[in-house]
């Protein structure tokens, strides 16, 4: 989500330099580093030592997700507070710039009828952007807050029923994001349809107009 917010920020706030700053090579590099760092970082929280102090393991060889106070404190800053701050700041900046650009465009329209049409369209776009941003941030916080509350306040293994629910909510955010985009953007629904129906494998699929 941080990478997407950076991409949207450059697109809206610095469109002239977007082709030179966001290249295919840089995108591939950022995605690869994102996956690599995520996997390496997650490995620090997994243990297979059944004799660790204050750790109960039901069977030998079982990998346990363990969070102590120190790791929980570091984790909440690295994977929650800092990313959320970056996302909110960038999206607020994008929204402010988008609104100012829409108002600037309306101010240069002289025809009353056309101006009214543009005004309605621009207001709808502004409201749609605000709703999408609000839903994304709200879902992100609802899915991640329980996990980070536990990781910060409880230095034990997540073995209770609540402990099982927390990681599920943590992963649920990734499942809900495509549904949110599909709810607000018809082009996203058409793109998903092309993938699900395997039409994307057909010759000439790259020429399909989904916008």
The one-digit pLDDT tens for each residue of the chain (211 residues) are 788 788 878 877 887 888 888 888 998 999 999 889 888 887 766 654 444 555 555 555 555 555 566 776 777 788 888 888 888 888 788 778 777 766 666 666 544 444 444 455 555 665 566 667 778 778 888 888 877 776 666 555 455 566 677 778 877 887 887 788 777 778 777 877 888 888 777 777 777 777 6
Distances (CA, A) of 197 to 179, 192, 202, 205: 17, 8, 10, 12
Give the separation between CA 181 and CA 187, rounded to whole angstroms: 9
Give the separation between CA 6 and CA 157, rounded to whole angstroms: 35
Closest CA to 59 of 159, 148, 176: 159
Distances (CA, A) of 191 to 167, 182, 195, 205, 206: 29, 9, 6, 11, 11
DSSP state of 209: -
DSSP state of 52: S
- For residue 99, the model assigns a pLDDT of 72
- For residue 153, the model assigns a pLDDT of 60
Helical spans, DSSP H, in 16-160: 18-21, 24-43, 69-76, 82-107, 112-153
- Return the structure tokens found at 163: 């402990």
- For residue 101, the model assigns a pLDDT of 67
Q: Tell me if the domain spanning 2-207 has CATH number 1.20.1070.10.
A: yes
Distances (CA, A) of 154 to 58, 151, 174: 20, 6, 25
- Return the structure tokens found at 181: 């985009």
Interior angle at CA 88, CA 26 and CA 38, nearest 5: 50
């Amino acid at each position: 989500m941080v990478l997407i917010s950076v991409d949207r920020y450059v697109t809206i706030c610095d469109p002239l330099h977007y082709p030179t700053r966001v290249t295919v090579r840089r995108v591939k590099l950022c995605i690869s580093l994102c996956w690599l760092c995520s996997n390496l970082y997650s490995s620090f929280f997994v243990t297979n030592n059944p004799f660790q102090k204050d750790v109960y393991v039901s069977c030998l060889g079982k990998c346990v997700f363990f969070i102590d106070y120190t790791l929980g404190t570091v984790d909440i800053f690295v994977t929650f507070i800092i990313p959320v701050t970056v996302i909110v700041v960038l999206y607020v900046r994008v929204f402010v710039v988008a609104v100012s650009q829409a108002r600037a465009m309306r101010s240069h329209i002289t025809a009353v009828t056309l101006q009214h049409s543009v005004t309605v369209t621009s207001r709808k776009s502004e409201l749609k952007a605000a709703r999408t941003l609000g839903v994304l941030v709200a879902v992100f916080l609802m899915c991640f807050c329980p996990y980070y509350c536990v990781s910060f306040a409880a230095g034990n293994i997540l073995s209770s029923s609540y402990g099982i629910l927390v990681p599920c909510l943590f992963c649920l955010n990734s499942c809900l994001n495509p549904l949110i985009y599909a709810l607000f953007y018809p082009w996203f629904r058409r793109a998903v349809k092309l993938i699900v129906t395997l039409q994307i494998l057909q010759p000439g699929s790259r020429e399909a107009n989904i916008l």
